[in-house]
Each structure stands twice: as C-alpha cells, then as structure tokens.
C-alpha cells in the first residue's frame, strides 16, 4: 500500500525565488557598499560594509531556510506544531546570533559604525523589498479548495 504524497506547498517557490534574488542583492550590496566604504574610510570602511551585508544575508537565509525545512512536514498530523516550533526556533536563534554578533563587533577597531549601519539597513530593506516582490509575483493561491464534484470518480466536469 502506498502512502499518498502531500500536495506541494505554494510558499516554496516564493521562498526559493526570494533566496536567489536575496543572494544576488547581497552580492551587489557587498560590492557597492564595499567600494563606497573603501572610498569613505579605507579598508576599515570596506570591511564594515561587507560585515553589514553579511549579517543581513545570514538572517535572511535563516528565515527562509527554517520555513523551507518546516514545510517538509506538510501533510503530517503534527505539521502545524512542527512548523511553528522550527520557525520560532529559527527566530530565537537569529535573536541570539544578532546579539552575539553585535557584542563581538562592538569593540572591533576596524568597524566604522556609520558604514556598517548603512550597509546593514540597505541590506535589510533590499531583503524586505525582494520578499514583497517575490510574493506579489508568485501567483500563489490564497486557499487550496476542492469544489463539489471535483474528486468524484468518473466526473468529467460536465453538468447534466
């Protein structure tokens, strides 16, 4: 006896698209921000911009990956608690990592605070814009429904 495969989840293509475009945006922001940071404050400015872009990229990646991993349990009886446990765990991990990263980077002599802040904010705004655009262009259904008669055996869709 074979078990039926669960239907695909409509958020998976959206998350994959957001990850790909997020990676592209991160590279662009790192290159442009690094060049601007280098022009403003030398190598310290460049490394500050790269650090800001990298931190934003890691957090964007953690959110999307946690949702993609949690979606693997779709169709399971415990899908909802597993999903929210994984996603909430990912958010808590991001909070801890963010605090640790700021504590580590706070006292570094090579961090130029203004360049780091601008690179981080631009990366976060770009990530949010990419997520929004990917969602709006996804053509994902709002609900998954079966209309009456769709799953009836021998139904060819004609009314009598």
Give tens-digit pLDDT for 95-136.
999 899 989 988 899 999 999 999 999 999 998 898 888 878
Q: What is the model's pLDDT at position 142?
A: 67
Which DSSP symbol is given to 151? T
Per-residue pLDDT tens for 26-68? 999 999 999 999 999 999 999 999 999 999 999 888 888 888 8
| Cα–Cα distance, 64 to 14 (Å, whole number) | 10
For the segment 83-89, the average pLDDT, to the nearest whole number, is 92
Q: At what angle do helices 11-70 and 113-136 cross, to 10 degrees?
A: 120
Q: At what angle do helices 79-106 and 11-70 cross, to 10 degrees?
A: 80
Per-residue pLDDT tens for 137-147? 777 666 767 77
Using alpha carbons, list the distances in angstroms from residue 114 to 45, 71, 81, 120, 121. Answer: 9, 38, 41, 10, 11
The sign of the CA dihedral 7, 11, 12, 17 is positive
| Cα–Cα distance, 8 to 74 (Å, whole number) | 8
Query: Does 151 have pLDDT greater than 50?
Result: yes
């Amino acid at each position: 006896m074979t078990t039926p495969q669960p239907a695909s989840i409509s958020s998976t293509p959206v998350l994959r698209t957001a990850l790909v475009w997020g990676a592209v945006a991160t590279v662009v922001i790192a290159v442009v921000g690094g060049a601007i940071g280098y022009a403003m404050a030398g190598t310290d400015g460049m490394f500050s911009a790269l650090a800001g872009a990298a931190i934003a990229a890691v957090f964007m990646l953690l959110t999307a990956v946690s949702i993609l991993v949690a979606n693997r349990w779709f169709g399971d009886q415990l899908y909802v608690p597993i999903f929210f446990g994984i996603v909430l765990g990912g958010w808590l991990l991001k909070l801890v990592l963010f605090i640790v990263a700021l504590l580590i980077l706070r006292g570094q002599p090579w961090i130029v605070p203004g360049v780091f802040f601008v690179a981080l904010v631009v990366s976060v705004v770009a990530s949010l814009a990419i997520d929004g655009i990917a969602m709006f262009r996804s053509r994902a259904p709002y609900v998954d429904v079966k209309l009456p008669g769709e799953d009836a055996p021998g139904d060819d869709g004609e009314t009598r």
